[in-house]
Structure 1
Amino acid sequence: MSLPKISLPSVRLLSSIHHHQQQLLLPSTSPLTGPKRAVSQGEYRRPGQPKVDKFPWQPINFGFSKGFDGVKKHLALLKKEFSDRWVGPQGKPILEHMLEQNQVLWEFRGPESLEQWTVSSDQEIGGQSEVHLKLGKNQNTCLLYGTLSSTPPRDGETRYSGYCTMRSKQPLASFDRKKHYDWSSFNTLHLRVRGDGRPWMINIATETYFSHQKDDIYNYFLYTRGGPYWQDVKIPFSKFFITHRGRIQDDQHPLWLDKVNTIGFTLGDKADGPFQLEIDFVGVCKDYAHTEEFAYEVYKRNPEI
């Protein structure tokens, strides 16, 4: 039986394919070329954020004067803490603290009052929204304004965007220890605001007992009327519901008022365009006519038969 004849071009084609297969199987001997510090820059950086090419300790000021001023500041705070304990809670007489029915927590009467707040928007994730905070025309209010844009960043991950937030800073005691607000004597949040008709979300963050609860926030809605007139808003704490990273939870429970950390205002109504919210003060009060404990259904894990 005679074998079929193979032409010379076919032999050359087979030899070239075999040569290429050997090159693919053999490890590459050429040195790998890559950008500098490719190993240390392993964190993902979203588009639009500037590239930080500094070591973590370079922005830190190691001056002796800064450390001395910091120790002097914290010793003064520690002294105030000891003196307030002899006077009463928060430096008030105990009788005044017991009979107090209204308390103003934040009011805006100068530039130093704005230092207690911080603003942020979706620009942190590559969005296009802008938010600013300044004093009002009469220097007695704060004006939160900006432009909302729901266009998501083109990073291949983010699908939704468009939010602006104003949040109070965490109060700190001496030596940067966490300090909490105790609102257990009150049952209502009292605001005096003037908006442009947009709905806002009020966020209250409390101290958690477990690490997986650090993203739990209590929320309720703030509906502004718009126009030139101020509106006094009173929201009972029983109306606040708990969310985890923006998702409403099935297991609801009342707001923990004994250890409140921060309060914030978030706009995310998907209506692109300018916005503004003017705030006179934020406080708490005791409404004796309100007797509701919790406005939502509470699930029992082991119901009685």
Structure 2
Amino acid sequence: MALTVMLLNGASFPGGCCRHKVLLSLLGPFLSNSKLYSSYRRPGAEPEKKPSWRNADFSFKKGIDHLKTQLSLLKKETQDYLLGPGGHPLSQHLLEQTRVLWQFRSQEDLNEWVISSDEEIGGKSKVYLKLGRNNQAALLCGTLNTEVPRDGETKYSGYCSMRSRPAVGSFNRKKYYDWSNFNSLYLRVRGDGRPWMVNIYTDPYFSHQKDDLYSYFMFTRGGPYWEEIKIPFSKFFFSSRGRVQDNQHPVWLDKASFLTLGFTIGDKVDGPFQLEIDFIGLLKDRAHREEFAYEAYDKN
């Protein structure tokens, strides 16, 4: 099956036709099934007795349902293109000063996010994501533990994170966010006084750029009151593999680069943490004129 995906990706047709991409997206429900591939098996573990291809579900009804879903997404994208993003006129879209991107009011809103912790590498930190009181916010809570796993390789531990899922358009196309009309990230949160890192992930062109991201700090003051935080995009600094780079440049907010947004806690303090998020949005602050907060050195 993996060979089939490679052949479909590498296939070419006269006239630059992209039929193979459409065909690959239609076969996605079958080829993307994890049961069709051999999963990772730890050394010493017994192999699966049942062949993986016997678990494949080549249901015709499943393919028709998937096609209907993709056509509905294509219809919505066409309407947004003709009427304007979100069904609003294009003039209103160009003049808007605020926009709510994520608002947490149901389980479907939480399903757009993924949580992770150092438990994946043998750590002992725990993280949970659920709806807050009266289903009016997202509650990110857990316990941070900096104890390093005894595997002889890991040197540091103690982090928990929450990251949005990459948006997907019709026929499994990558969908990017266009934030070029705004200059600040706008959040309404209620924390416990611990600092967080806000991360912007871009879509890399080369494979070695997959760990590149733009980050800035978010300091919560604690207490029972909500706080509104504004973070200009000019404050985000560039890092790769967890290390701040000497060559700094501002984050590109056009629709060709931005992919996901995330929050990470790793302040090296053991104990419980809690962060409530009401909404995440964008703001166009006309009083903010800074283009980039850090020095950009010229290359010799």
Aligned equivalents of 2:197 and 2:168: distance in 1?
25
Q: What is the total number of aligned residue pairs between the two structures?
A: 259
Structure 1 position 210 matched with structure 2 position 231: no
Runs (4+) of structure 1 exceeding 6 A deviation are 41-44
- 1:91 deviation in Å? 3.4
Q: For 1:196 and 1:229, how far apart are their aligned partners in 2?
A: 10
* CA offset digits 1:167-215 (Å, max 9, x no partner): 0100000111110110000000001100011100000112233333221
CA drift at 1:283: 0.3
Q: Which residue pairs with 2:151 in the alignment?
A: 155
Q: Which residue of 1 aligns with 2:9?
A: none
Residue 32 of structure 2: aligned partner: none
Larger CA deviation: 199-208 vs 233-242? 199-208
* Greater gyration radius: 1
Cα displacement (A) at 1:220: 0.2
Change (3 A) 1:202 1:61: farther
The counterpart of 1:299, out of the listed 293, 297, 300, is 297
Cα distance change of structure 1 residues 42 and 103 upon mapping to structure 2, 3 Å threshold? closer
- Give the Cα–Cα distance (whole angstroms) in 2 for the partners of residues 59 and 200 of structure 1: 43
TM-score by structure 1 length?
0.80
In structure 1, what is the Cα distance between the partners aligned to 2:87 and 2:54? 40
Letter in 2 for 1:108: F
1:91 matched residue in structure 2: 87
- Partner amino acid for 2:216? Y
User: Structure 2 counterpart of 1:204, which letter?
Assistant: I
**In the superposition, relative to structure 1, how do residues 133 and 92 fare at CA in structure 2: closer, same or farther (>3 Å)?**
same
- The reply to whether residue 262 of structure 1 matches residue 260 of structure 2 is yes
Pairwise mapping of residues 221-240 of structure 1 onto structure 2 (< 5 A)?
221-240=217-236
Instruction: For structure 1, list consecutive stretches of 5 or more residues without a partner in the other structure.
Output: 1-40
1:209 match: secondary structure: coil
1:126-152 C-alpha deviation (Å, 9 max, x unpaired): 111110000001211010001111111
Query: Which amino acid in the other structure matches residue 166 of structure 1?
Result: M
Q: Give the TM-score normalised by structure 2.
A: 0.81
Q: CA RMSD in A?
A: 2.2
